[in-house]
């Protein structure tokens, strides 16, 4: 006898199952050659808390565990080998029996808790016909195997298996001369490959697996067939599927449980259901034929490879209605006549081998005329800054190109070459920088709904601006009698001045007032530039003050403080003009200053006086220096001069307009001597001095 059981021990949190193999009362019956898969969840009930169930001597099995029941059909020996899926996973076990039920297991007749890593052995453990010991472990004690059991027909044994350390499942093979209860046979059934042609094509549909019962049983009686989503559920006989059942994954394994009604022995098989999603979008985008014609012939065979890849072994037919396609009625040829009205057609795809699902492609066909656009006139622009380059906004041509078409429904693309346009590559941006050379621009207008297009071209030309030479600032005499003429270069087509004057030959105008005068010139290609001439004001000077330094004995000075918009130069007593307004070396008396505007706006002439006195006089009647005078004093008619002798005696009072003092007092000549004077001028400091009288 050799029976193989494959179990998957995964340590999950406890789940609520109708049956749980970690309890002795729900133990799994070992029957014949059966593949098992369970998911134990914890330790279940503590059977060893009952008085009839002492704790096994080798180990306390309070760990994730599974219970098995062994019903002996014939007398002989019983042994098994447990092989972990993960090397050196530490599985412990204990065997109880023969017993009647789980309430009175009695002491364990075999018990193993050897640690494979400490003992230096593999994780295999169990019973065999070569060992002699009945118990081993814990730790390094033992090699994992104990002596087989001699059994009698009708005996019942229980085995508990616990995962002490490590992880993973295990396989369990039984052997020995004793026979276990026969199990039913769950015959293999073919996998189900079905089409997703019910409802939405999403890879999910409903099933009723009861039609497979006969193939699973093949005539076996007194059995029950159930279907499950997991091998664990199938082994435990829980969560049987009800029908109709919708798959929860695609593909999905379905586990079949066949149980004998008289022994609870079960067998298992599985199959895969796969809902075939055709992978084809049955709603095909319309085929749009861009043409100037109202009708066009279209052959679907020219595009079928793009619609149905790898179609060489498929049956393809064309129909005028979905009903015809569904029933394979009234097939048409592949060639249809398209018009400007959209017409729908239906393409039926059938795999004659039956291995692929059939489906119907829904497609449509119509003729779309290219957009009716206009060729714009030459795009002529003027340079903006004399550098020969210009940033050009190409989209400013869109309105002329679209010729009334809705810009929201059309895309306008610009290209530098016809090849780029044909290949629809390297489209220019909305703004480009170009030079003054003539440049062709290639345009494609695409109707966004149909992708039909039309092409036009136009030339882009950047013309130069007229160049005006810069001019220096000029001056204009305020309220001038004679006007000033300002001018720019000749040779342009039109001139327009800021004064309002304009004309084809008006390159100059006359002005009589200062200000900024701007002229805009237009050249022979219609480009314009402008120049502003600054005319600054100038005028005759205004004397604000004459500052003299008097009484310096022939080295008197005068400074002329003037104002006005002009640039002035100065001359005294017909001397040379100078930029400085300061003069020195002036003698007493009257002088003439001329202040001239350098811009030619006039000369101001003014007489001024320098006050000074004679240092001596000789009243001898010879006609020279006969009187003592005070030149320039007539400018100050309110002035008064008092003359004193050296002792302070007032000798004479002299008016500015008088002939001077003749050196007498009361009609008598005074002797040669020094005499003093005081000069009183209103609003000026008092002046004192002395002079000599010589006989």
In a domain, 180, yes or no: no
Query: DSSP of 559-587, one letter per residue?
Result: EEEEESSS-EEEEETT---BS--EEEEEP
**pLDDT score, position 353:** 73
Radius of gyration from C-alpha coordinates of the chain: 64
661 and 679 inside one domain: yes
Q: Contact 609/602 with Cβ under 8 angstroms?
A: no
Q: Which helix (H) or strand (E) holds 422?
A: helix 418-423
Percent of the chain with pLDDT over 70: 94
633 and 605 inside one domain: no
17 and 151 inside one domain: yes
Q: Sign of dihedral through CA atoms 46, 49, 51, 57?
A: positive
502 and 586 inside one domain: no
Per-residue pLDDT tens over the stretch 537-561: 988 999 999 998 888 877 899 999 9
Would you say residue 122 has pLDDT above 70? yes
Q: Contact 466/521 with Cβ under 8 angstroms?
A: yes
Per-residue pLDDT tens over the stretch 606-655: 998 888 888 889 998 888 889 988 877 887 888 899 999 989 999 999 88
Count of helices and strands (H, E) across the chain = 7, 50
Per-residue pLDDT tens over the stretch 529-538: 999 999 999 8
In a domain, 275, yes or no: no
Strands of the 65-71 sheet, one edge to the other? 28-29, 65-71, 156-165, 90-96, 110-114, 135-139
169 and 204 inside one domain: no
**pLDDT score, position 279:** 59
Would you say residue 66 has pLDDT above 50? yes
Q: Contact 22/42 with Cβ under 8 angstroms?
A: yes
**pLDDT score, position 477:** 87
Strand-pair category, 145-147 with 125-128? parallel
**pLDDT score, position 354:** 67
In a domain, 184, yes or no: no
Point out which residues pair with 268 in neighbouring strands.
Answer: 257
161 and 86 inside one domain: yes
In a domain, 69, yes or no: yes
Q: Which helix (H) or strand (E) holds 432?
A: strand 431-435
Mean pLDDT of the chain: 88
Calculate the dihedral angle through the C-alpha atoms of 7, 11, 16, 22, rounding to the nearest 10 degrees: 50
- Of 147-156, 203-212, 295-304, the least confident: 203-212
> Where does a domain end: 555, 580, 610?
610
In a domain, 468, yes or no: no
41 and 152 inside one domain: yes
310 and 418 inside one domain: no
Query: Cα–Cα distance between 146 and 58 in angstroms, integer?
Result: 12
* CATH assignment at residue 140: 2.60.120.380
Residue 413 burial (10 A CB sphere; 0-12, 13-18, 19+): middle
Give me the number of domains the chain comprises.
7
In a domain, 246, yes or no: no
83 and 14 inside one domain: yes
**pLDDT score, position 232:** 81
Structure tokens at 596: 């001239």
> Where does a domain end: 124, 144, 175?
175
Distances (CA, A) of 240 to 165, 227, 237: 33, 6, 7
109 and 151 inside one domain: yes
31 and 163 inside one domain: yes
In a domain, 374, yes or no: no
pLDDT bracket for residue 13 (50, 70, 90): very low
Boundaries of domain holding 74:
2-175
* CATH assignment at residue 559: 2.60.40.1080
9 and 144 inside one domain: yes
């Amino acid at each position: 006898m050799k029976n193989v059981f494959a179990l998957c021990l995964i340590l999950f949190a406890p789940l609520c199952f109708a049956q749980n193999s970690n309890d002795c009362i729900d133990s799994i019956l070992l029957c014949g050659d059966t593949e098992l898969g369970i998911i134990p969840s914890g330790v279940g009930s503590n059977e060893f808390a009952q008085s009839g169930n002492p704790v096994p001597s080798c180990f306390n099995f309070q760990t994730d565990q599974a219970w098995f029941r062994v019903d002996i059909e014939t007398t002989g020996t019983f042994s098994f080998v447990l092989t972990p899926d993960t090397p050196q996973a530490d599985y412990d076990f204990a065997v109880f029996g023969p017993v009647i039920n789980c309430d009175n297991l009695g002491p364990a007749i075999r018990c193993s808790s050897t640690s494979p890593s400490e003992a230096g052995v593999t994780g295999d453990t169990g019973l065999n016909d070569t060992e002699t010991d009945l118990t081993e472990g814990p730790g390094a004690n033992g090699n994992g195997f104990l002596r087989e059991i001699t059994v009698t027909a009708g005996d019942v044994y229980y085995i508990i298996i616990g995962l002490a350390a490590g992880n993973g499942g295990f396989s369990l093979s039984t052997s020995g001369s004793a026979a276990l209860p026969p199990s039913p046979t769950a015959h293999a059934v073919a996998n189900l490959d079905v089409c997703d042609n019910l409802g939405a094509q999403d890879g999910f549909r409903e099933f009723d697996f009861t039609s497979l019962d006969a193939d699973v049983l093949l005539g076996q009686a007194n059995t029950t067939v159930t279907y499950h989503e997991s091998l664990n559920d199938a082994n435990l006989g829980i969560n049987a599927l009800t029908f109709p059942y919708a798959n929860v994954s695609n593909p999905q394994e379905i586990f079949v449980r066949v149980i004998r009604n008289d022994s609870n022995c079960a067998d298992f098989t599985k199959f895969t259901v796969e809902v075939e999603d055709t992978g084809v979008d049955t709603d095909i985008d319309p085929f749009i034929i861009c043409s100037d014609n109202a009708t066009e012939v279209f052959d679907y065979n020219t595009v079928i490879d793009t619609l149905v890849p790898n179609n060489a072994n498929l049956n393809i037919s064309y129909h005028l209605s979905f009903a015809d396609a569904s029933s394979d009625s009234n097939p048409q040829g592949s060639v249809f006549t398209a018009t400007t009205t959209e017409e729908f057609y239906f393409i039926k795809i059938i795999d004659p081998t039956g291995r692929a699902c059939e489906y119907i492609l829904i497609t449509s066909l119509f003729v779309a005329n290219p957009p009716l656009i206009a060729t714009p006139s030459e795009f002529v622009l003027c340079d903006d800054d004399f550098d020969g380059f210009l940033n050009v906004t190409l989209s400013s041509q869109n309105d002329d190109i679209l010729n009334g078409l809705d810009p929201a429904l059309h895309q306008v693309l610009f290209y530098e070459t016809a090849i780029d346009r044909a290949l629809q590559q390297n489209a220019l941006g909305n703004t480009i920088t170009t030079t003054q050379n003539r440049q062709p621009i290639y345009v494609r207008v695409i109707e966004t709904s149909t992708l039909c297009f039309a092409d036009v071209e136009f030339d882009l030309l950047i013309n130069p601006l007229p160049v005006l030479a810069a001019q220096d600032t000029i001056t204009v005499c305020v309220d001038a009698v004679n006007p000033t003429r300002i001018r720019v270069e000749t040779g342009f087509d039109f001139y327009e001045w800021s004064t309002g004057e304009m004309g084809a030959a008006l390159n100059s105008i006359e002005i009589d007032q200062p200000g900024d005068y701007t002229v805009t010139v237009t050249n022979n290609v219609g480009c314009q530039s402008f120049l502003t001439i600054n005319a600054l004001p100038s005028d005759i000077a205004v004397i604000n003050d004459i500052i003299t330094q008097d009484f310096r004995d022939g080295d008197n000075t005068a400074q002329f403080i003037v104002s006005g918009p002009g640039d002035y130069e100065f001359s005294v007593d017909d001397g040379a003009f100078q930029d400085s307004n300061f003069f020195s070396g002036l003698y007493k008396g009257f002088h003439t200053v001329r202040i001239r505007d350098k811009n030619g706006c006039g000369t101001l002439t003014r007489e001024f006086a320098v006050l000074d006195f004679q240092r001596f006089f000789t009243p001898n009647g010879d006609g020279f220096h006969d009187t003592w005078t005070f030149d320039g004093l007539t400018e100050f008619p309110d002035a008064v001069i008092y003359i004193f002798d050296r002792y302070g005696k007032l000798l004479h009072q002299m008016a500015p307009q008088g002939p001077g003092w003749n050196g007498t007092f009361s009609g008598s000549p005074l002797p040669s001597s020094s005499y003093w004077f005081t000069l009183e001028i209103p609003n000026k400091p008092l002046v004192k001095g002395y002079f000599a009288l010589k006989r």
